[in-house]
Amino acid sequence: MRSVVIFGVALTCLAFFASAGAAAPPDPLKVFISVDMEGVSGVVDGDQTSATGHDYERFRKLMTAEANAAVDGARDAGATHILVNDSHGSHRNLLIEELHAPAELISNNIKPTGMMAGLDASYAAAIFIGYHAKASSGEGVLAHTGNGTTIADLRINGRSVGEGGMNIHAAGAMGVPVVLASGDQAAIAEIRELVPNIEGVQVKEAFGTAAARSLRPEDAARLIREGTARAVRRRGEIKPVPASLPVRFEVSFTDPSLALMAEQIPTVERTGSHAVAFVADDYLKGYRFVRVLYKFIQ
Ligand SMILES: [Zn+2]
């Protein structure tokens, strides 16, 4: 009798675990993190962000720490899949051996969608870490757009934007909201023009383009982690921001000879001594083409 009872209990337990095992797994929550470097706390000079700079090894570690803070925050908010895209310079800065789970890393450039490589419509949210102000800003640390020497400004449908704006529209084209941006006050203010209720984490206060008052890395990481967790939880309130189509891109170069060369490409028109423009019926096609203009017209 006793053995029959034990057998019965065992069967019940088996049935319970079998049904628990058969239950549908929780939906994946996928978060994409694009990590630039000029907006990392402490960064104030190109010597820290250039692979040949003598301070670069220190600052790539700090960049990795801020990326990890966002990974930790996304995980705190329930993210099950986290994709980190190295988005600075050579796109070979982040130290993969220090990357926190469950993140995976995209590195190296050339990739056609650059800072947004790897993002698709299956992601619930995108996060921008270490972002900086646009070329025409004059107020943000190491402000530039795409290429620090050749691009004076970029306009999308008539609005001057930086990398943040370009990338917000790229995520928007895939239906993904950008829920958090970190950097200095100028970078965050620019991004808020497009996404007013974005979670902004200011890790430093820029004094013009070449100096800043920065948080200690540990304090910056804490704010990024907490902000990311909040932002991922608030993802339903923050809307994707697609550009209206067809979309017009206008690039102003720092040197008119660059506009002259760009003008030779069919579909590109010269709009001024330093500027060219083109129209795309698909935002991501236009985005990829702008990258070609600022990466390869030198
Ligand atoms: Zn950048």
Confidence (pLDDT) at 27: 83
91, 132, 144, 169: the active-site residue: 144
**Could you tell me the CA-to-CA distances from 120 to 189, 256, 281 in Å, in that order?**
26, 36, 19
- Tell me, in angstroms, the distance from the centre of ligand 1 to residue 182's CA: 13
Ion ligand 1 contact residues with beta carbon within 5 A: 36, 163
Task: Please write the tens of the pLDDT for every residue from 136-175.
Answer: 998 999 999 999 899 999 999 999 999 999 999 999 999 9
- Quote the pLDDT of residue 22: 54
One-letter amino acid for residue 280 of the chain:
A
Which of the two residues, 106 and 3, has the higher pLDDT score?
106
- Catalytic: 144? yes
Centre of ligand 1 from the C-alpha of residue 15, in Å: 55
Mean pLDDT of 4-11: 48
User: How far, CA to CA in Å, does 72 sit from each of 69, 79, 103, 193, 230?
Assistant: 5, 9, 9, 27, 12
Q: How far is the CA of 145 from the centre of ligand 1 (A)?
A: 7
How many helices (H) and strands (E) are present in the chain, helices listed first? 8, 12
Residue 14: pLDDT band (50, 70, 90) is: very low
How far is ligand 1, taken at its centre, from the CA of residue 16, in Å? 53
